[in-house]
Structure 1
Amino acid sequence: MPRRSVLVRILQVVTLVVVTVLFVVLIIDSFLNDGKPLTTLRPEGPAAQDIQNLVWPVFLVAGIVFVGVFGAIGFIIMKFRQRDDDDPEQFPEQVHGRTGLEIGWTILPALILAGVAVGTVITIINLDKRADDAIPVKVVGQQFWWSFHYDLNNDGNFEGPEDLTTAGELVVPVGREIEIVTTSNDVIHSFWIPGLNGKKDAVPNLLNPIKLEADVEGVFLGQCTEFCGLSHANMRMLVRSVSQDTYDAWLENQLTDKSAEPTDPDAAEGREIFTQQCAACHLVDGVSDPEDVPLVAGVAPDLTHLMTRGTFAGSIFNLYAPDGEPIGGNPEEVANPGDPGEALTGGPVDEGRVNRGILEDWLRNAPALKPAAADEGRGMPDLGLTEDQIDKLVAYLYTLN
């Protein structure tokens, strides 16, 4: 065999080995979930498990087809390649009209697709079922954060006086179905908590149903998956699954009147600063009235119980250090969301675990941390606060638990 042919053969073999190794490494890496909080390959709820039960056989069949097709192509390339002693003008024997093969490669794909269709229909039916004791929640996309409206009296009205509105974090009892309808206050968004279910678009003037249920206690992260503006990538959310007792305590605290004035002098002054600088957009029960101020809660999160949340600013920053981790580090570490501890249910705020530095930076110059269009009513503007005002405003925010 000529030397050049030997080198070409070696190069072909090396290329094949390298491509195969890279392909295998990519496949293995896709199934490693460490540091991948938005993976769809780790279902933690019935709906996500139903989807996973459909995905696995489809991927298995697709993998078999992939190997079969490319294996056949590789075999044909090697077996029928032109050799050195071949006449380049000579055509191989032309074969056609194999009726059995033609029928086979028509029927087999049809049967495969029919099986996938049956599994898909069954999965859709299962995802559409609703539990009798499901908790109804309306999820509203905003530029660039999420608000959650609990219909606590189950009357179909999510904005009633007996209902609850919060932002950024959806707190749910473990093992209890949450019946969600998504909508939007501005442009099209997409609600996605991959550990608990698939995606659902949030469209203005339209209510799209989806259900969530967590099998275990924990925090499940999500992300807006429809491009919606400057901070689309910074529009995150999370579901915090807790025990039924903790959920009941959280709910009772959320419904507790928090209008009493702070006793700490700095916090009291901070409340006045909040009233003057922040209450035109943000709602705090007993401090700002949505009927008197048109912008209240229309373009900004409800801060009535801010310190019961582990994150803020569209859940891109940790308000507290994550569970078991020291204060500091990277407050944007999405894989480890902040843990409010006892403050979740109205207990004392552990100020030693609050990421005060990033909270102050946010008040100092929010547009520098999260791109938006504050002059058009989207995003928090730079309020021009002094350092003294920031200190006192933070002291007041600490009371919002």
Structure 2
Amino acid sequence: MRGEKFIAIMGLCWLLAGCNRHQSTLAPFGADAEAIRHLFIVMLVGAVGIAGFVAWLMRRAVRAPVGEMTHRKGMRLVLWLGGIVPTVVLLGLLAYSLPYMRPRPVAPADLRIAVDGEQFWWRVAYRAADGAPVLSANEIRIPVGRTVAFRLTAGDVVHSFWIPGLAGKMDMIPGRTNTLVVRADRSGRYRGQCAEFCGLSHALMALDVVAMEPAAFDAWLEGQRGPARGAVADVAGARLFAAQGCGGCHAVRGTAAASRIGPDLSRFGQRATLAAGILPMTTANVAGFIRHPQATKPGVRMPAFPQLSDAEAMAIARYLEGLK
């Protein structure tokens, strides 16, 4: 008996180990994820109730005296429990869940964020109704209490955009644009994940999601429109960045680097993580990723720079961290 209790407790601990506050459908910070959690609980209670009822019927059938169940009684049981009751229950669940499937309306003034899935990172463009797009990568910021429409597509293979605490999954398909409309109800820093196998580093394709109070978000978005602060503060790092051809793939607003092949680095120093949510943002991690990106993300398209010395890689890393 003690062994069975121990196994049950260890199994429960193993299940709880998969729960967290920053990436969990059971800890929602958005209205749509809250609806999904509610439906999940209702369906779970219903499933447990049905399973318990079936177990009771099986126990009763096993213990019933021989000959108690006649053919007529058996056919009536099959009709009610195999046909009528399941039909009524399923129709009831369908009617209950339909209101939750109604798409959230979008007004012309609502914020639109275009997110493109790449191997293996996220291209982000904020498209407010009153200004030009603001480009970013691997981090999404949204205002609390406002409707936000994500325009989702992919540049290479099929990805899946999933922020568990905010809303359900939505596929990102090359050549097609899908729209996911959400609303955050609580501020904080959370995490999203690609939920469709997209290559060697699929499991290493995450993103940071920051839900901000509306006034703070408006100020942040307005501050993103100008050139990057610190773009020329670290002269040695800026020169190495240009000399190594980094501007051939990356953009830094306020400099000659304007390519959109790779992630936009204009506000790189404001991000909390590196390599699409995989590494903490430290100078050593940035320098290591510059020299050997494949060591962190197998299959990534960024070329390696093993010819850089430690001092040169650190200089470029300090320059990038200064872009705010």
How far the C-alpha of 1:94 sits from its partner, in A, is 6.8
Partners of 2:17 and 2:205 lie apart in 1 by 25
**Are the structure 2 counterparts of residues 130 and 97 from structure 1 closer, same or farther at C-alpha, using a change threshold of 3 Å?**
farther
How far the C-alpha of 1:380 sits from its partner, in A, is 4.5
**Are the structure 2 counterparts of residues 400 and 261 from structure 1 closer, same or farther at C-alpha, using a change threshold of 3 Å?**
closer
Partners of 2:229 and 2:209 lie apart in 1 by 27
Corresponding residue for residue 151 of structure 1: 127
Partners of 2:17 and 2:230 lie apart in 1 by 50
How far the C-alpha of 1:219 sits from its partner, in A, is 1.1
> In the alignment, which of 313, 321, 324 is matched to residue 390 of structure 1?
313
Partners of 1:303 and 1:68 lie apart in 2 by 58
Deviations 1:147-180 (A, max 9, x none): 11111236xxxxxx81111111101111112111
How far the C-alpha of 1:386 sits from its partner, in A, is 1.0
Unaligned runs of 5+ in 1: 1-13, 82-90, 155-160, 291-295, 320-354
Partners of 1:52 and 1:214 lie apart in 2 by 15
Q: Is the 8 A contact 2:229 2:323 kept in 1?
A: no
> In the alignment, which of 254, 257, 260 is matched to residue 224 of structure 2?
254
Partners of 1:27 and 1:387 lie apart in 2 by 46
How far the C-alpha of 1:317 sits from its partner, in A, is 1.2
Cα RMSD between the aligned structures?
A: 2.8
Unaligned runs of 5+ in 2: none
How far the C-alpha of 1:194 sits from its partner, in A, is 0.6
Partners of 1:149 and 1:56 lie apart in 2 by 35
Q: Is the 8 A contact 1:144 1:314 kept in 2?
A: yes
Q: Is the 8 A contact 1:275 1:287 kept in 2?
A: no
Q: Is the 8 A contact 1:133 1:177 kept in 2?
A: no
Corresponding residue for residue 279 of structure 2: 317
> In the alignment, which of 236, 240, 246 is matched to residue 206 of structure 2?
236
How far the C-alpha of 1:379 sits from its partner, in A, is 3.7
> In the alignment, which of 114, 121, 145 is matched to residue 98 of structure 2?
121
Partners of 1:162 and 1:231 lie apart in 2 by 32
> Residues 3-14 of structure 1 correspond to what in structure 2 (within 5 A)?
none
User: Which letter does structure 2 place at the counterpart of 1:188?
Assistant: V
**Are the structure 2 counterparts of residues 385 and 244 from structure 1 closer, same or farther at C-alpha, using a change threshold of 3 Å?**
same
Higher percent of residues as strand: 2
User: Which letter does structure 1 place at the counterpart of 2:251?
Assistant: L
> In the alignment, which of 73, 84, 103 is matched to residue 107 of structure 1?
84
How far the C-alpha of 1:382 sits from its partner, in A, is 3.6
**Are the structure 2 counterparts of residues 388 and 28 from structure 1 closer, same or farther at C-alpha, using a change threshold of 3 Å?**
closer
* TM-score of the aligned structures, taking structure 2 as reference length: 0.88
Corresponding residue for residue 372 of structure 1: 299
> In the alignment, which of 239, 242, 249 is matched to residue 275 of structure 1?
242
**Are the structure 2 counterparts of residues 176 and 396 from structure 1 closer, same or farther at C-alpha, using a change threshold of 3 Å?**
same
Corresponding pairs, count: 321
Q: In percent, how many aligned pairs have the same letter?
A: 29
Corresponding residue for residue 174 of structure 2: 204
> In the alignment, which of 289, 300, 317 is matched to residue 362 of structure 1?
289
3-state SS, counterpart of residue 247 of structure 2: coil
Corresponding residue for residue 286 of structure 1: 254
Partners of 2:106 and 2:307 lie apart in 1 by 49
Q: Is the 8 A contact 2:288 2:313 kept in 1?
A: no
Q: Is the 8 A contact 1:54 1:119 kept in 2?
A: no
User: Which letter does structure 1 place at the counterpart of 2:252?
Assistant: V
Larger RCO of the pair (alpha carbons < 8 Å, separation 6+): 2
Deviations 1:305-325 (A, max 9, x none): 101111121111121xxxxxx
* TM-score of the aligned structures, taking structure 1 as reference length: 0.72
3-state SS, counterpart of residue 118 of structure 1: helix
Partners of 1:177 and 1:230 lie apart in 2 by 34
**Are the structure 2 counterparts of residues 101 and 190 from structure 1 closer, same or farther at C-alpha, using a change threshold of 3 Å?**
same
Q: Is the 8 A contact 2:188 2:210 kept in 1?
A: yes
Deviations 1:270-307 (A, max 9, x none): 111111221111111233454xxxxx222x21001101
